[in-house]
Amino acid sequence: MNTDSIEVTRFSDIDSGPVVQLLSRYGLSIRVVPAGRPIPGSFWGDEEAGLVGNELIVRPDTPLHSILHETCHYICMDEARRQNLNTNAGGDYDEENAVCYLQILLSAEIPGFGQEKMIRDMDAWGYSFRLGSAQAWFKQDATDARKWLLSKGLITANGRPAQSTRSER
């Protein structure tokens, strides 16, 4: 699939400072590779973000939703997977839902982006949800994702990101 023509917010479209700060709160650093170069650690290839250890790797054309999605995989995985991380974040169905939910929450922390744009970008990119859109899923069908995040200490009781990675309790 040629994704160059899909209109989504890309890393080069935003001020990178808030993204770097957000990632650093979770122990991640960001590395930018030149346009057109392969992205090390990218599970999907093309312009999708990569993960190797505690480094998130992007290009200028990497979609912001991909950056936040891979960040949320890092946040949601257990310490054993985090220590051996190289390309495949792994996880099960419940964790994947939690990752999608958390990336929507975290999008609110990026000035000029936010949840509405994240949801539009997820739909444009082809994320699929039972109810037909990311918005419907997030508002009406994500109770299991919220419960998972809460049980792992990754969101607070009022639904805000807890600003820590998953730890075994």
The letter for the amino acid at 154 is L
Mean pLDDT of 127-156: 92
How many whole angstroms separate alpha carbon 169 and alpha carbon 161?
18
pLDDT tens, residue by residue, 111-138: 999 999 999 999 999 887 877 899 999 9
User: pTM to 2 decimals?
Assistant: 0.93
* Other residues' Cβ atoms within 10 Å of the Cβ of residue 107: 22
What sign does the CA torsion over 76, 100, 32, 116 have?
negative
**At 144, is the secondary structure helix, strand, or coil?**
helix
Q: What angle do CA 78, 83, 86 make, to 5 degrees?
A: 105
Q: What angle do CA 109, 113, 118 make, to 5 degrees?
A: 95
How many whole angstroms separate alpha carbon 141 and alpha carbon 65?
20
pLDDT tens, residue by residue, 53-92: 999 999 999 999 999 999 999 999 999 999 999 998 888 9
**At 12, is the secondary structure helix, strand, or coil?**
helix
Candidates 160, 51, 57, 61; CA nearest to 104 is: 160
What are 11's two structure tokens?
């890393």
The letter for the amino acid at 148 is W
